[in-house]
Amino acid sequence: MAEKITVGHVHMSGCTGCLVSLADNAEGLLTILDKYADLVYGLTLADVRHIPKMDVALVEGSVCIQDKLSVQEIKETREKAAVVVAVGGCACYGNITRFGRGGQPNQPQHESFLPIGDLIKVDVYIPGCAPCPQLIRNVCVMAYLLLKGTKEQQELATKYLTPLMQLAERGTEACGCDLMIDVINQGLCMGCGSCAAACPVRAITHEYGKPNVNREMCIKCGACYAQCPRSFFNFDVITEFEGIMELIDGALK
Amino acid sequence: MERSSEVMEMGTELGKYKTCVSARSTNKEILKKSQDGGIVTQLFAYALEEGIIDGAIVAGQSDEPYRPRPFIATTVEELMTSRGTRYNISPNVSFIKEATRSYGLDKVGIVGTPCQMQAVRKGQLYPFGWRDVDSKIALAVGIFCMENFPYQSIKQLVEDHAGVKMESVKKMDIGKGKFWVYTERGAVVQLPLKVTHKYEQPGCHVCLDYVANLADVSTGSVGSPDGWSTVFVRTTNGDNIWAKAIAAGCFETKPIDQVKPGLELVSKLANEKITKNQKTVEERAKFGVNKALRNPYIKP
């Protein structure tokens, strides 16, 4: 067994749903911690007060810029982690915290919540509210292969993670409108239904084969656009689905 | 030696597959209303009865004639109501999480077009919002597809071009270079495919898959005689299920190299589609003045 990678869970302003989603891998999480990753930082899970040096930081939640500690910690995360992963809609796009406007959160003056990408460079995005346990698992396995695997495994991990890195480059705003703007308006929608299945709040229905987004319900998590096969479709990875799913299953046995 | 290189080349546009046959269901009830060989209905019916799947997402009926809506069939009787092709969009993938949640299915069957099979496989490898779905997809059946139509397009073609009321249609078919409308009263109207092109769904024009390369099993009429379907068995999972269905006597089969028009026609049409759409993808890159339309095969 090659040495493990070091991973931390950094909690900004979020609901802990992403952490629960990670934990929902059940035995899979134990296998990950047993074989591939040491958890070096994480509220309630690791008895460490300050952000340590680590290979991969899984960041959940957005940053409240009126909270000095949060701002300091997200910057520190960037300094200490080789790879920063924005886990979930809040870290990627603000998500539900986009709707914070003062007077409601912990302290009355807490009103501005930014996706972490507005303050630091982010390497990998995992959109969704919460992102599925299986996707967090896949990214963990691929991150391990990228840092500790054979040359072949590194190539596969790079190919797998590339679209998630491109999502990070794409920007810090997401909305159900992305389906309209970047898919339908671009002449790319073929009405498969992926977006509606991905929406955590059932804001998407299909009218005559095209998604219809209820924008009052949309929480701006970014799952629909990321899930769309016409947002990205990397043939070199997805056509190998049988082998990759076996690889991940095998890694977690 | 020359022959093997030909086969290799043919393999790319037809995707990976373990076996390819011409087949039809042995169930007369299925064949009564099936589009061709009744492959999808028969395979799902067998899988339901054997507990290989506990439900299948199919294109069900709706309030309007020939307008499909996704439907989860959990019995053979329900499945039978969805026999036959309706040439417009049924967002079957939109039910993939619903099937495992509201319907509580642990082994889901799904039928879809090549793009829907791509969506399913992307969702298994990158499940952003498809919680607990990836390992529950037990049988994905793909159907050959040159392009699809919005419902209003089909209505326009049938009612305006063919002059037939939607309510009177018994069957629609695309084959032998024509769009066919058969009425309950026995009339047959044919339209040249050329007429239908402008009504196609635009999103289809960047699709690079004709024979559902990513399905477990994919099927379509092209390549086989009337009343039969061409079947590609692709994945290990698909191979297991297909072998059991054959052993159970669900299908009659013929070797694909012994039927007319055979694989050559499938390859020809697949290459035509891919070449044409690859060209569209390239043209999109210089669509405006130094401005491109987005290419999903490069980045999100």
Average pLDDT on B119-123 reads 98
Q: Can you give the pLDDT at residue A144?
A: 95
What number of other Cβ atoms are within 10 A of residue A50's Cβ? 8
Nearest alpha-carbon partner for A115 in A60, A160, A152 = A60
Which value, in Å, is the radius of gyration of the alpha carbons in chain B? 19
Of A21, A188, A223, the CB nearest to B296: A188
B229 token code pair: 């379907």
Nearest alpha-carbon partner for B111 in B119, B102, B103 = B119
Same domain, B57 and B178: no
Average pLDDT on B9-23 reads 86
Q: What one-character DSSP code corresponds to residue A37?
A: E
Cβ separation of B300 and A224 shorter than 8 Å? no
| B10 part of a folded domain | no
CA dihedral B246, B249, B254, B255 (to 10 degrees): 20
Distance CA B71, CA B82 (A): 9
pLDDT at B97 exceeding the cut of 90: yes
Q: Which residues of B touch A204 (CB under 8 A)?
A: 94
| A243 part of a folded domain | no
Nearest alpha-carbon partner for A10 in A50, A46, A57, A49 = A57
Shortest alpha-carbon distance between residue A186 and chain B (Å): 6
| B293 part of a folded domain | no
The domain that contains B172 carries what CATH number?
Answer: 3.10.450.750
Cβ separation of B203 and A166 shorter than 8 Å? no
Same domain, B191 and B224: no
pLDDT at B24 exceeding the cut of 60: yes
Distance CA B66, CA A43 (A): 55
Same domain, A79 and A107: yes
| A124 part of a folded domain | yes
Distance CA B79, CA B42 (A): 9
Same domain, B141 and B241: yes
| B272 part of a folded domain | yes
Instruction: Please report how the helices A133-148 and A241-251 are oriented relative to each other, as an axis angle in degrees rounded to 10.
Output: 80
| A58 part of a folded domain | yes
Measured in degrees and rounded to the nearest 5, phi and psi for residue B104 equal 60, 30
Cβ separation of A238 and B98 shorter than 8 Å? no
Q: Can you give the pLDDT at residue B236?
A: 98
Same domain, B218 and B117: yes
Nearest alpha-carbon partner for B35 in B263, B252, B250, B221 = B221
Same domain, B139 and B160: no
Residue at a domain's end among A143, A172, A201: A172
Number of domains in chain A: 2
Same domain, A37 and A117: yes
Same domain, B176 and B218: no
In contact, A241 and B121? CB cutoff 8 Å: yes
Q: Can you give the pLDDT at residue B264?
A: 96
Same domain, A140 and A199: no
| B297 part of a folded domain | no
Shortest alpha-carbon distance between residue B296 and chain A (Å): 5
Same domain, A12 and A95: yes
pLDDT at B1 exceeding the cut of 80: no
Q: Can you give the pLDDT at residue B4?
A: 37
Give the A:B interface size as CB pairs under 8 Å: 183
Cβ separation of A134 and B112 shorter than 8 Å? no
Q: Which of the residues in chain A have pLDDT under 70?
A: 1-2
Share of residues in chain B with pLDDT > 70 (%) = 96
Same domain, B153 and B216: no
| A123 part of a folded domain | yes
Q: Can you give the pLDDT at residue A2?
A: 63
Same domain, A192 and A213: yes
The chain-wide mean pLDDT, for chain B, equals 95
Average pLDDT on B182-191 reads 96
pLDDT at B10 exceeding the cut of 50: no
In contact, A13 and A69? CB cutoff 8 Å: no
**Which structural domain, as residue segments, surrounds residue B143?**
18-147+206-284
Q: Can you give the pLDDT at residue A46?
A: 84
Shortest alpha-carbon distance between residue B204 and chain A (Å): 6
In contact, A91 and A61? CB cutoff 8 Å: yes
Same domain, A112 and A196: no
Average pLDDT on B124-147 reads 97
Same domain, B187 and B76: no
Cβ separation of A197 and B97 shorter than 8 Å? yes
Same domain, B222 and B244: yes
Nearest alpha-carbon partner for B296 in A122, A212, A187 = A187
Same domain, B160 and B277: no
Sign of the torsion angle spanned by Cα atoms B99, B103, B104, B108: negative
Q: Can you give the pLDDT at residue B11?
A: 53
Same domain, A64 and A150: yes
Could you give the residue ranges of the DSSP H alpha helices within chain A? 17-23, 27-31, 68-80, 89-93, 133-148, 151-170, 177-178, 194-198, 223-227, 235-238, 241-251
Residue at a domain's end among B199, B233, B268: B199
Same domain, A149 and A101: yes
| A120 part of a folded domain | yes
Give the model confidence (pLDDT) of B194-220 as tens digits: 999 999 999 999 999 999 999 999 999
| B275 part of a folded domain | yes
Same domain, B168 and B218: no
Residue at a domain's end among A155, A172, A189: A172
The domain that contains A144 carries what CATH number?
Answer: 3.40.50.700
Give the model confidence (pLDDT) of A116-152 as tens digits: 999 999 999 999 999 999 999 999 999 999 999 999 9
The domain that contains A205 carries what CATH number?
Answer: 3.30.70.20
Shortest alpha-carbon distance between residue B216 and chain A (Å): 10
Distance CA A222, CA B299 (A): 16
Distance CA B57, CA B277 (A): 28
Q: Beta strand A63-64 with A81-87: parallel, antiparallel or unpaired?
A: unpaired
Nearest CA in chain A to B70: A193
In contact, B130 and A227? CB cutoff 8 Å: yes
Same domain, A122 and A146: yes
Same domain, A127 and A9: yes
Q: What is the DSSP string of chain B?
A: -HHHHHHHHHHHHH---SEEEEEEES-HHHHHH-SSS-HHHHHHHHHHHTTS-SEEEEEE--SSTT--EEEEE-SHHHHHTT-S--SS---GGGGHHHHHTTS--SSEEEEE-HHHHHHHHHHHHS-SS-TTTGGGEEEEEEE--S----HHHHHIIIIIIS---GGGEEEEEEETTEEEEEETTS-EEEEEHHHHGGGS-GGGGG---SS-TTSSEEEESTTS-TT-EEEEE-SHHHHHHHHHHHHTT-EEEEEGGGSSS-HHHHHHHHHHHHHHHHHHHHHHTTSSSS-----TTT--
Interface with chain B: mutation pick from A194, A206, A248, highest number of B CBs within 10 Å: A194
**Which structural domain, as residue segments, surrounds residue A42?**
5-172
Same domain, A195 and A75: no
In contact, B95 and A204? CB cutoff 8 Å: no
Nearest CA in chain B to A126: B128
Distance CA B83, CA B171 (A): 11
In contact, A55 and A8? CB cutoff 8 Å: no
Nearest alpha-carbon partner for B88 in B152, B176, B164 = B152
In contact, A127 and A92? CB cutoff 8 Å: yes
Confidence of residue B9 (pLDDT cuts 50, 70, 90): very low
Number of domains in chain B: 2
In contact, B148 and A149? CB cutoff 8 Å: no
Same domain, B90 and B130: yes
Cβ separation of A188 and B294 shorter than 8 Å? yes
Same domain, A84 and A133: yes
